[in-house]
Amino acid sequence: MSSCQSTGAASSTLAPVRSEDPAWAHARAVPGARNNTECLYCNKVIRGGGITRLKYHLAGIPGNVEACKKVSEDVKWQMKELLDEMKKNREKKRKISSEIGGDIDLISDDIDDSNSMEGQSQLSKGKGKSRESGTGKSVGGLSRFFAPRTTPGAQPSIKSSMCSNEMLVQAKMAVARWWYDSNLPFNAAQSKFYQPAIDAMTAIGPGFKGPSLYELRGNLLKMAVNEVQNYLQQIKKVWTETGCTLMADGWTNQKQQSIINFLVYCPKGTMFLKSVDTSGLRKDAETLFKIFDEVVQEIGVENLQKYGSFYWSPCAAHCIDLMLENFCDPRYFPIIDDTIKKAKKITKFIYNHGWVLALMRQDFTKGHDLCRPAVTGFATNFLSIQCLLLFKKELRQMFTCDKWMGSSYSKSNIGKEIAGIVLEDKEFWAQCQFIVKISEPLVLLKPAMGYLYDAMERAKENIKARCNNKVSVFSPFTRIIDSRWDKQLHSPLHAAGCVLNPGIFYSPSFKNKNDVVKGFNSCVMKMELDPDDQDKIIEELDLYRTSVGEFGHSLAIRQRDKLNSVAWWSQFGCEVPTLQKFAVRILSQCCSATGCERNWSTFDFIHSKKRNRLVHKRLNDLVFVCYNLKLRERSIKNGRDALNPINLENIDLMDEWVGEESELLDGEDLDWASIEKPLTSLNEEDVDNIGIDVDDGGDVDENILINMSNLAPYCLFDEDE
């Protein structure tokens, strides 16, 4: 690039008046020949067309002029961007011309002959993903002039290709030293903005000065706040149509302060509003009402409930987690509790010894882990039991292989105990199988509006079938589900959502029970205060029930299970506008607060009593930006990243499965360099429907199942839970 630029500077005197065009840095004008240019890379003379045909030559776009074979990737990328920008300007001028009915000169001095339109058409077809950054949005700024080097399939620059391994290591060490000195968490390297930041800096080149302390907490933070607010405005636009759900996430921070985070959900996305410290307030109904009322007024009552009424519902994921907690309550299910403790003993031993962990990942589980971090702690327990069963055969092979037998671990007391559980304790594996049988229907249940009611019914039926319909076996667990459902989770909203979900309502297995009908009617009367509109909803419901009109078309029938229920109503509910509007608002709500993120350290700073007023405002801006960026990235995250159970990011959920215990430790094996990073997380299909192990030769002893499920009362919890 440097040689090219110097040549370009020397040729600037030969360029025409419009020499501010960046393309002239890569060409010279041919003296005495109007609109002829000479490429500085291959010395080809391009006759006619001026600078625009040169751009096609440098960009390598066929059909207009021969492509340059010596131009660098960066210059090629830049030329494509310039041509694309020129095309947009043309289209903009045409639009303005058509709107005002006048004639605007669409021909500029740098437009070549008639073939240029053909070349532009090929550019718009061929550029495809070149302007995509992976999020479906056009990238701007420096990316207009520098080709991406870190996206899959991108061609590296010549300079980076010629770098030695020592240079690469030193560059990474420079980043690492700053990382360690700043005490950044390791998982910060997984940020979506990490690599783009490095790309932007390297694109500018040596001498780039990073943002200063005052820039980071001043103008740059203000710009970030404005950027996030602009993004959130796109979310707020749909509130009037779909309504929204106000989510309150209450928790206690490390300073034992009670904090409530307020977020707003709609199908377009979740946004963070504010965080309130309630540690010094009375937890009575009046105080809580005032806090909620302030937030509701900030959002706008018409957005939360256009029809004048509100529904309150606890987090469905939390209630399901409480059901799983009851399933392993040592007071009533001591065998299940004891089995989980044995399983944790196995994983803690493996994950606290680097040599053993490396042996397992490299030689037996193909990089996969035994533990699966889940949204909640008790879901993590049952998912990890699933993984143990999935790798039962591999674990047995590991504890009998030559490497293990020749190691010092196999001769230690704790090593012998762990190997004994894996190899000889058949009751342990049978109990694990039973635990998976009764927990899997709940663990895999996805709490979503329109699906929750039916999913809970299916989960109970599934548990009964897995227990061979033996009442003495399944009844303690189904009673727990019924108790939590009836006293905490049941809501007319879930019944109405079930009726309005076409994938469920039209299913042959759907039973139109009385409580579903009552729930729907209650929802209509509470959410729609106009009696005429109530009558219209019931009248139009009959068309929906009998599949008349648009509902009966073959396309609508095929799309019942394929389209999102909100999209289905928007597409096929036009003949029943009142019911359509009602259905969209019901099905657009959220019934789980698992989408909430928590920035622990920043919240601690915000709710500290030792603060300056200006600093407090800055920290609020920081949390606003940080929280909403995380929510935005979570909504577009593909979910294929590995979940390493020994990462600090997962330590709260995984501590009981990988945490240190003195009686399980053996030696000082802490060689992290020998441990390869885990592969992508297991899919649900990988652990779904884990049945009886054929190696054990049959079914689980029914007496074991009955012993594991006895003594459970009708209700295991206090109503305040």
Q: pLDDT tens-digit profile of 504-527?
A: 999 888 876 788 889 899 889 888
Residues contacting 295, CB < 8 A, separation 6+: 246, 262, 273, 274
Read off the tokens for 175: 């980043």
Q: Mean of the pLDDT values across residues 153-182?
A: 76
Q: How far is CA 429 from the centre of its chain?
A: 34
Please give the Cα distance from 187 to 643 (Å, whole number): 11
Match 């011309």 to its residue by tokens: 97
* Count, residues in the chain: 721
Is 197 within the bounds of a domain?
A: no
Is 9 within the bounds of a domain?
A: yes
Q: Which amino acid is at 404?
A: W
Specify whether the CB–CB gap between 67 and 60 falls below 8 A.
yes
CA neighbours closer than 13 Å in the CB half-sphere of residue 123: 29
Please give the Cα distance from 19 to 106 (Å, whole number): 20
Read off the tokens for 145: 């002039």
Specify whether the CB–CB gap between 620 and 225 falls below 8 A.
no
Q: Is the pLDDT at 579 greater than 90, yes or no?
A: yes
CA neighbours closer than 13 Å in the CB half-sphere of residue 682: 23
Read off the tokens for 712: 């459970």
pLDDT value of position 118: 37
Please give the Cα distance from 511 to 491 (Å, whole number): 18
Q: Which amino acid is at 582?
A: F
Please give the Cα distance from 266 to 243 (Å, whole number): 7
Q: Is pLDDT larger for residue 134 or for residue 371?
A: 371
Integer angstrom CA distances of residue 624 from 70, 261, 610, 630, 637: 48, 11, 20, 10, 20
pLDDT value of position 15: 43
Q: Mean of the pLDDT values across residues 646-657?
A: 47
Please give the Cα distance from 549 to 689 (Å, whole number): 40
Is 574 within the bounds of a domain?
A: no
Residues contacting 144, CB < 8 A, separation 6+: 78, 81, 85
Is 206 within the bounds of a domain?
A: no
Specify whether the CB–CB gap between 336 and 708 falls below 8 A.
yes
Please give the Cα distance from 153 to 162 (Å, whole number): 18
Name the band, by pLDDT with cuts 50, 70 and 90, for residue 676.
low
Is 410 within the bounds of a domain?
A: no
Sheet bearing 45-46, strands edge to edge: 27-29, 37-39, 45-46
φ, ψ at 91 (rounded to 5°): -60, -40
> Hey, which of 182-196, 278-292, 372-386, 577-591 has the most confident mean pLDDT?
577-591
Query: 75-84, 92-101, 615-624, 666-675 — which is least confidently predicted?
Result: 666-675
Specify whether the CB–CB gap between 556 and 550 falls below 8 A.
yes
Q: Mean of the pLDDT values across residues 268-274?
A: 82
Please give the Cα distance from 410 to 406 (Å, whole number): 7
Is 412 within the bounds of a domain?
A: no
Specify whether the CB–CB gap between 434 and 328 falls below 8 A.
no
Q: Is the pLDDT at 573 greater than 90, yes or no?
A: yes
Please give the Cα distance from 481 to 442 (Å, whole number): 9
Is 137 within the bounds of a domain?
A: yes
Read off the tokens for 345: 């003993």
Name the band, by pLDDT with cuts 50, 70 and 90, for residue 368.
confident
Read off the tokens for 630: 């995380």
Closest CA to 343 of 69, 717, 664: 664
84 C-beta neighbours (distance < 10 Å), count: 19
> Hey, which of 16-20, 141-145, 189-193, 662-666 has the most confident mean pLDDT?
189-193
Specify whether the CB–CB gap between 128 and 73 falls below 8 A.
no
Please give the Cα distance from 502 to 521 (Å, whole number): 18
DSSP of 454-469: HHHHHHHHHHHHHTTT
Is 598 within the bounds of a domain?
A: no
Could you list the residue range(s) of the whole structural domain that residue 59 is in?
2-144
What's the DSSP call for residue 415?
H
Closest CA to 363 of 416, 415, 400, 408: 400
Work out the percent of the chain whose per-residue pLDDT is above 70: 70
> Hey, which of 48-62, 335-349, 672-686 has the most confident mean pLDDT?
335-349
CB burial of residue 424 (10 Å; 0-12, 13-18, 19+):
exposed
Long-range contacts of 463-472 (CB under 8 A, 24+ apart): 463/437, 463/438, 466/437, 466/438, 466/441, 467/437, 467/438, 467/705, 470/702, 470/705, 472/706, 472/709
The residues with which 38 forms a beta bridge, in sequence order, are: 28, 45
What's the DSSP call for residue 38?
E
Read off the tokens for 91: 């289209």
Please give the Cα distance from 80 to 561 (Å, whole number): 43
Q: pLDDT tens-digit profile of 293-310?
A: 888 887 776 655 543 567
CA neighbours closer than 13 Å in the CB half-sphere of residue 107: 6
pLDDT value of position 18: 45
Name the band, by pLDDT with cuts 50, 70 and 90, for residue 486.
confident
What's the DSSP call for residue 132?
B
Helix (H, G, I), strand (E, B) or coil at 571: helix
Name the band, by pLDDT with cuts 50, 70 and 90, for residue 35.
confident
Specify whether the CB–CB gap between 27 and 45 falls below 8 A.
no
Q: Is pLDDT larger for residue 89 or for residue 145?
A: 89
Long-range contacts of 196-201 (CB under 8 A, 24+ apart): 196/133, 198/150, 199/142, 199/143, 199/146, 199/148, 199/149, 199/150, 200/141, 200/142
The angle formed by the CA atoms of residues 684, 688 and 694, to the nearest 5 degrees, is 145
Domain total in the chain: 1
Q: pLDDT tens-digit profile of 339-358?
A: 999 999 998 888 888 888 88
Q: Mean of the pLDDT values across residues 308-333?
A: 83
Please give the Cα distance from 494 to 591 (Å, whole number): 9
Match 């309502």 to its residue by tokens: 505
Q: Is the pLDDT at 659 greater than 50, yes or no?
A: yes
Instruction: State pTM to two decimals.
Output: 0.63
Specify whether the CB–CB gap between 648 and 186 falls below 8 A.
yes
Q: Is the pLDDT at 237 greater than 50, yes or no?
A: yes
Q: Mean of the pLDDT values across residues 126-141?
A: 40
Read off the tokens for 47: 């006759």
Q: Is the pLDDT at 226 greater than 70, yes or no?
A: yes
Q: Which amino acid is at 93?
A: K
Q: pLDDT tens-digit profile of 538-557?
A: 999 999 999 999 999 999 99
Mean pLDDT (the chain, rounded): 75
Q: How far is CA 43 from the centre of its chain?
A: 51
pLDDT value of position 597: 53
Integer angstrom CA distances of residue 338 from 209, 331, 414: 58, 11, 18
278-291 burial: b if 16+ Cβ within 10 Å, else e: eeeeeeeeeebeee
pLDDT value of position 90: 82
pLDDT value of position 86: 84
Going through 48-154 in order, the beta strands assigned E by DSSP cover none
Q: Is pLDDT larger for residue 504 or for residue 714?
A: 504
